[in-house]
């Protein structure tokens, strides 16, 4: 877009005539687009299927440069983040990498000189307007321009307005080059240079006044800095830009006196390097730049690489790109040839993102842990990688898992009934006491002292002991202190673990979690815990559980993944990660006897809840969900039906199937335009199955199903690129042939 505007501005006064200039420029641009069609057309196709196609205005203006941080363009480290300056961590609007717009003080002054000397020339006017427009666009929704640009095709699907600083920096660079050239040609008077320096000094002083004002201190306080001192002698991020400005001004005056003098030119370049390095050299790349070690997977990951190569299943990192190397973050796992269901990028497929409940940073929504959620199963996720937990320690020194389980017992509050919660441990844990954080819900009528939960503990030898939790002693109604609930309470308020702000019928109040500590019969090696609901009414949520050894003065927090050994099975713990196996993960390909057609939102809900719209249980081994009718319903399904992947790469897949009845082949791979299927070399229709995956009807018997990726967008783009390349070569060869003909 910037290039089109540049051509339009300069072509108006072109010496060859504006319309001839525009025609030639248009042909050159079309030729360039044609050469890039090989990339452009597949990218447009992918963009239309990605989460970016659904971006709203809030996404478009995310990471806008805040007006309150304008002074950062002159004092780049004023809001922290430059560790070499000895200043605190960054406390401005997140994040500094996206919001950094420092172009240097010397380039800004040279740009001012350049425009002042050539202000009547079209090129200078254009680059000044381009720089100012880019600056306004970087402010995002803080100017009316954002609403206008958002409505433009293609452009409205981008985000991070602060990246318009790239165009601003380019405009400043061009004007700075014009200014430097003007000084070399001695077109700049000393008076003009002094006026430019004076204006720049005024702007720097205005920035300094803001920094030492109460407004800057208040902004810093909101960012977590209690004592902010903006005085130059107390803050290096203020002093260094002022010193650089002084050095820049003196160097410009010195160079202006004899711009052709080589030592003075060297001095100018050194000041420029110092100016740019005052921010860039001290920024976070020093600490967070990738190490060459990322080219090799962690040693323990090789075992998973081999295992998954045999089963054709996948891993998934719960924290996405925020995870450490041992969590096998997306994109790196691909580099290490470890198949992953996760991906991080601006064009992630929206269907796969919603299926896996994946956030923009590729981290997973907590719903992945729900036992009824089939998403990871359908994506053939065999191993889940989590960060090694950092437990919370309460005032009594007891360790708890940082995340609440929110596991329900009972049947109150219109929540599905829960009868018990079971925890299984791969190795027994020694304890003398069990700690439980919980809350009752919809339970004001529960009498004081009524048993609501029975705790059954099994030791390593199989011996069982039972403890009870009572209303009023060990747990209580969470809304006990809400004004509309307190008069109805029939039990006491149990010891409070923590409180939180809540609302009850639009009235603000305080809710509570309660702590129960149940003594065991001596030291017990606990291998299994079951919490059984025995209350007559109401419901309860179990939030945290910890096994406490008072003899060893230690405690072991229990996390939600230990709840059901059939759902998540602990594998191992590395220095930075915990790995759990998913025994219910589907293979890469499988056969089902039944296909049900539903709407997309119904399919997604069914997958997340394991419940069909008609109330039946959803079993992915038996049923596939499609958005168009595909009548497959075997009257006598073959229980021994099988699908075996015999070949698999990025563009081809071969599956051998065997079934005595018609079946539907489901793949755990994403459905995407360009995939073609054959059954015994006969073309077959591909259905979108299970919201985002691929499926094909397969007749009874033994068959070979092949999938080949032949995207039309790629081949069409390749054809345009080849044609454009031929035209370009023809244009280049024509003058040579003409000259050769003329000579002959």
CB 653 within 8 A of CB 676: no
pLDDT given at position 96: 85
Per-residue pLDDT band at 195 (split at 50, 70, 90): very high
CB 658 within 8 A of CB 642: yes
pLDDT given at position 36: 95
pLDDT, tens only, 448-486: 999 999 999 999 889 999 999 999 999 999 999 999 999
Per-residue pLDDT band at 386 (split at 50, 70, 90): very high
Residue showing tokens 């199903």: 705
Q: Give the separation between CA 77 and CA 643, rounded to whole angstroms.
A: 59
Nearest one of 252, 254, 278, 104 to 180, comparing CA atoms: 252
pLDDT given at position 584: 93
Nearest one of 162, 169, 245 to 203, comparing CA atoms: 245
Q: Give the separation between CA 211 and CA 217, rounded to whole angstroms.
A: 8
Residue showing tokens 């109604």: 477
Mean pLDDT of the chain: 91
Average pLDDT score over residue span 266-280: 94
Question: H or E segment at 503?
Answer: strand 496-504
CB 422 within 8 A of CB 530: yes
DSSP-derived pairing of the beta strands 594-597 and 623-626: parallel
Task: Give the list of residues 6+ apart from residue 395 with CB closer than 8 angstroms, or none.
Answer: none
Nearest one of 465, 476, 483, 384 to 437, comparing CA atoms: 476
Which domains can be identified in the chain, with CATH numbers?
1-54+711-744 (no CATH), 56-286 (no CATH), 296-364 (no CATH), 392-558 (2.60.120), 589-705 (no CATH)
Task: Give the list of residues 6+ apart from residue 720 with CB closer than 8 angstroms, or none.
Answer: 34, 37, 38, 41
Q: Token digits for 259?
A: 């711009």
Q: Could you tell me where the DSSP H helices lie in 258-300?
A: 262-280, 285-288
Q: Token digits for 92?
A: 């401005």
Average pLDDT score over residue span 644-666: 94
Q: Which residue has the higher pLDDT, 732 or 721?
A: 721
Nearest one of 96, 86, 90 to 235, comparing CA atoms: 86
Q: Is the pLDDT of residue 739 over 80?
A: no
3-state SS of 27-46 is HHHHHHHHHCHHHHHHHHHH
Per-residue pLDDT band at 285 (split at 50, 70, 90): confident
pLDDT given at position 744: 67
Q: Is 654 left (phi over 0), alpha (psi -120 to 50) or beta?
A: beta
CB 561 within 8 A of CB 369: yes
Cα 550-551-556 angle, rounded to 5 deg: 50
Q: Give the separation between CA 544 and CA 435, rounded to whole angstroms.
A: 8
Per-residue pLDDT band at 617 (split at 50, 70, 90): very high
pLDDT, tens only, 524-559: 899 999 999 999 999 999 999 999 999 999 999 998
Per-residue pLDDT band at 634 (split at 50, 70, 90): low
Q: Give the separation between CA 74 and CA 206, rounded to whole angstroms.
A: 11
- Maximum CA extent, the chain: 113
pLDDT, tens only, 489-518: 999 999 999 999 998 877 889 999 999 999
pTM score, two decimals?
Answer: 0.81
pLDDT, tens only, 118-159: 988 888 999 999 999 999 999 999 999 999 999 988 888 888
Q: Is the pLDDT of residue 632 over 70?
A: no
Nearest one of 520, 515, 419 to 466, comparing CA atoms: 520
CB 444 within 8 A of CB 485: yes
Per-residue pLDDT band at 389 (split at 50, 70, 90): confident
Q: Token digits for 283?
A: 């920024």
Burial of residue 106 (number of CB atoms within 10 Å: 0-12, 13-18, 19+): buried
Residue showing tokens 């060459």: 292
């Amino acid at each position: 877009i910037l290039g089109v505007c540049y051509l339009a501005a300069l072509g108006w006064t072109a010496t060859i005539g504006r319309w001839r200039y525009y025609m030639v420029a248009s042909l050159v641009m079309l030729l360039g687009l044609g050469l890039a069609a090989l990339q452009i057309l597949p990218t447009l196709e992918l963009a239309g299927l990605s989460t970016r196609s659904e971006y709203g205005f809030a996404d478009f203006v995310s990471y806008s440069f805040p007006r309150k941080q304008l002074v950062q363009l002159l004092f780049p480290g004023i809001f922290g983040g430059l560790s070499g300056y000895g200043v605190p961590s960054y406390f401005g609007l997140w994040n500094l990498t996206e919001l950094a717009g420092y172009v240097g003080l010397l380039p800004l002054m040279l740009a001012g000189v350049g425009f002042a000397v050539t202000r009547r020339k079209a090129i200078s006017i254009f680059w000044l307007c381009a720089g100012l427009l880019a600056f306004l666009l970087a402010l995002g929704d803080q100017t009316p321009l954002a609403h206008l640009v958002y409505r433009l095709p293609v452009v409205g699907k981008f985000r991070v307005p602060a990246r318009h600083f790239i165009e601003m920096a380019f405009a400043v660079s061009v004007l700075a080059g014009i200014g430097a050239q003007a000084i070399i040609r001695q077109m700049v008077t000393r008076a003009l240079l002094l006026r430019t320096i004076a204006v720049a000094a005024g702007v720097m002083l205005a920035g300094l006044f803001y920094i030492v004002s109460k407004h800057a201190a208040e902004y810093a306080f909101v960012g977590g800095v209690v004592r902010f001192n903006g005085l130059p002698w107390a803050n290096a991020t203020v002093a260094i830009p002022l010193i650089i400005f002084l050095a820049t001004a003196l160097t410009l005056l010195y160079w202006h006196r004899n711009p052709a003098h080589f030592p003075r030119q060297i001095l100018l370049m050194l000041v420029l390097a110092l100016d740019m390095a005052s921010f860039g050299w001290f920024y976070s790349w020093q600490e967070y730049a990738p190490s060459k070690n990322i080219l090799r997977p962690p040693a323990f990951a090789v075992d998973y690489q081999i295992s998954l190569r045999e089963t054709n299943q996948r891993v998934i990192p719960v924290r996405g790109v925020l995870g450490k190397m041992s969590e096998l973050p997306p994109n790196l796992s691909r580099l290490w040839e470890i198949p992953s269901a996760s991906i991080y990028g601006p064009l992630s497929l929206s269907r796969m993102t919603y299926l896996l409940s994946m956030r923009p940073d590729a981290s997973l929504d907590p719903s992945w842990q729900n036992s009824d959620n089939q998403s990871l199963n359908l994506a053939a996720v065999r191993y889940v990688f989590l960060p090694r937990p950092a437990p919370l320690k309460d005032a009594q020194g007891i360790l708890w898992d940082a995340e609440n389980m929110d596991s329900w017992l009972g049947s109150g509050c219109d929540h599905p009934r829960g009868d018990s919660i079971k925890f299984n441990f791969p190795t027994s844990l020694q304890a003398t006491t069990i700690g439980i954080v919980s809350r009752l819900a919809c339970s004001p009528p529960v009498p004081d002292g009524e048993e609501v939960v029975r705790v059954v503990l099994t030791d390593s030898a199989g011996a069982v002991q039972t403890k009870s939790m009572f209303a009023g002693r060990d747990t209580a109604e969470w809304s006990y202190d809400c004004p509309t609930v307190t008069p109805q309470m029939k039990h006491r308020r149990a010891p409070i673990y923590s409180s939180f702000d809540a609302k009850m019928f639009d009235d603000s109040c305080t809710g509570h979690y309660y702590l129960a500590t149940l003594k065991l019969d001596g030291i017990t090696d606990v291998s299994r815990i079951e919490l059984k609901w025995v209350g007559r009414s109401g419901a309860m949520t179990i939030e945290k559980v910890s096994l406490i050894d008072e003899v060893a003065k230690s405690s072991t927090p229990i996390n939600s993944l230990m709840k059901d050994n059939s759902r998540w099975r602990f594998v191992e713990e590395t220095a930075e990660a915990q790995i759990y196996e998913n025994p219910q993960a589907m293979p890469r390909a499988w056969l089902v006897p039944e296909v049900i057609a539903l709407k997309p939102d119904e399919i997604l809900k069914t997958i997340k809840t394991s419940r069909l719209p008609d109330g039946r249980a959803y079993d992915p081994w038996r049923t596939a969900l499609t958005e168009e009718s595909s009548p497959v319903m075997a009257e006598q399904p073959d229980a021994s039906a099988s699908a075996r992947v015999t070949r698999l790469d990025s563009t081809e897949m071969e599956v051998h199937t065997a079934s005595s009845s018609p079946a539907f082949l489901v793949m755990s791979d994403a459905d995407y335009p360009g995939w073609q299927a054959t059954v015994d070399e006969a073309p077959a229709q591909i259905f979108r199955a299970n919201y985002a995956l691929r499926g094909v009807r397969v007749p009874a018997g033994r068959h070979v199903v092949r999938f080949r990726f032949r995207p039309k967008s790629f081949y069409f783009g390749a054809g345009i690129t080849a044609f454009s390349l031929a035209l370009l070569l023809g244009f280049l060869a024509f003058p040579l042939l003409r000259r050769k003909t003329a000579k002959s």
